[in-house]
Amino acid sequence: MEYTRRSVLTALGLGAFAAATGCAASPSGDAQAAADGPAEGEITLLTPIFEGSTGKQLLEGKLLPAFLQKNPNVKVKVDYTTYNALNEKLTTGLASGLMPDVVMLGVGWIPPFAHKKVLAPLPDSLASRFDYEDRVLEPSRYDGKLYALPLVLDTRIVTYRKDMFAEAGIKAPPKDWAELREMSKELARSDGSGKLTRVGFDPFSIDLRQCWETFLFANDGNLFDEAGKEVRFNDDRGVEALQLFLDVVKDKSADFSFKTSTGQPSTLAQGRSAMMMANNSLWVQLKQQNPELLKEDKVGAFVLANKVPAMLQGGTLVARSASSKHASAAQALVEFLGTPESILPTAEQRGSVPGVQDLRTSEYVQNNDFVKLALDNMSKARSEGGTAAWMEIREKIKVTLETAVVGQRTAKEAIDELANLSKQAISRL
């Protein structure tokens, strides 16, 4: 299948960026070299998750030396980036013919890149190499083929302050949204002037896209049909999921301005929220910034539920480029990064969830309540994406939802707009 630079960039949602770069013609993704020869040659690894000195030390000081010891004829050049810049970096590499040999991608990213033949399929035998938790490999597949291996998972759960619940006489987390809303009112606090000093529920300090998706799934809704060709989120379940955010703001038990930025102490840690949607990595952040909260057992977590219990499953997958000139070396690195010996230290460094059952008994998992909760509830996990047009749609979700949260549109108007944008993106496949 032939594809042009513009078609790829449009499908990946970066057409405007491409026009600005004026890059050369794209490479062909059809030439997927077989990975059945000796592992040798210099390859490039593009990663968005080993940022910072700690991550670099883990990757270059521990993981890659172990890989190179087993594969002495391979050299690995690491290209560090962030998730915010990853899509643009991949698209630039694709347009210039300089795609990294091994790439790390987010959940939901496999269908768009596999659809465009940017990635090489992996042997399906790798899917049964370890005892993966159920659902873990679903985001790694496209059109029946395995394209990636999971490195680490990240789930979205509801965290709460046990001491604030006890103070309000609340004995158990909410079982559905009606209870969530009522408890949020009871837990919110204001000063003498009526200014909110503590929100009962903070849904805004994590990515609004991922938060809304978690509520959509808990309302038994879907993003797309199984083929990824039809929008499904624009029914009552999707609108109700967004409307709940508007309702808790209207109740004065949530406030969009309370959201914190990455790296800042969470509203939960600051005592400015009693419940908060969070990534399971919050446990590690609390351990570093507010260890007394864990030591005194003041923080708990539960899985969001309404019509059904649901937990968003994100994470980082590792895949091989279809255009790698050293396919065997690239695949060897993919396979190595997908082993428990790579997964466990990577998960521990980031506070992420290891998706291999053998690691359930590890000291790391046993000492992290949020990770244990996630692993115990993997049957309730749902993933974002599911369409080859995801990269274009993904960029529009947060900004469109925010128009409703800040009062520029109703929830239904925002969802309808998002549905129209999504249908247009899918029609261009």
The answer to whether the 41-154+313-383 and 156-312+387-427 domains have the same CATH topology is yes
* pLDDT (tens digit per residue) in 343-357: 999 999 999 999 999
Answer whether CATH 3.30.460.80 is correct for domain 156-312+387-427.
Answer: no
Statement: residue 26 has pLDDT above 70: no
**Residue bearing the bigger pLDDT, 8 or 171:** 171
Domain boundaries 41-154+313-383, corresponding CATH code: 3.40.190.10
Average pLDDT over residues 316-331: 96
Statement: residue 151 has pLDDT above 50: yes
Share of the chain above pLDDT 90, in %: 86
Statement: residue 196 has pLDDT above 80: yes
Sign of torsion, CA 180 182 183 185?
A: positive
Q: Give the pLDDT score at 14.
A: 43
Q: Whole-angstrom distance between the N-terminal and C-terminal Cα of the chain?
A: 13
Q: Give the pLDDT score at 287.
A: 94
How far apart are alpha carbons 336 and 329 in whole angstroms? 11
In sequence order, which ranges of 144-219 are alpha helices (DSSP H)?
Answer: 162-167, 177-187, 208-218
How far apart are alpha carbons 124 and 222 in whole angstroms? 27
Q: What does the CA dihedral 65, 375, 128, 312 come to, rounded to 10 degrees?
A: -100
Residue type at position 228: G
Statement: residue 2 has pLDDT above 70: no
Q: Lowest mean pLDDT of 91-100, 111-120, 343-352, name the range.
A: 91-100
Give the residue from 55, 72, 74, 51 showing the smallest Cα distance to 63.
55
Q: Where along the chain do its domains lie?
A: 41-154+313-383, 156-312+387-427
Q: What are phi and psi of 418, to 5 degrees?
A: -65, -40
Statement: residue 19 has pLDDT above 50: no
Statement: residue 22 has pLDDT above 70: no
Q: What is the Cα Rg of the chain in Å?
A: 22
Q: Give the pLDDT score at 32.
A: 58
Average pLDDT, the chain: 92
Q: Give the pLDDT score at 37.
A: 86
Statement: residue 402 has pLDDT above 70: yes
Q: Give the pLDDT score at 292.
A: 97
Q: Give the pLDDT score at 404.
A: 98
Band of residue 36 on the pLDDT scale cut at 50, 70, 90: confident
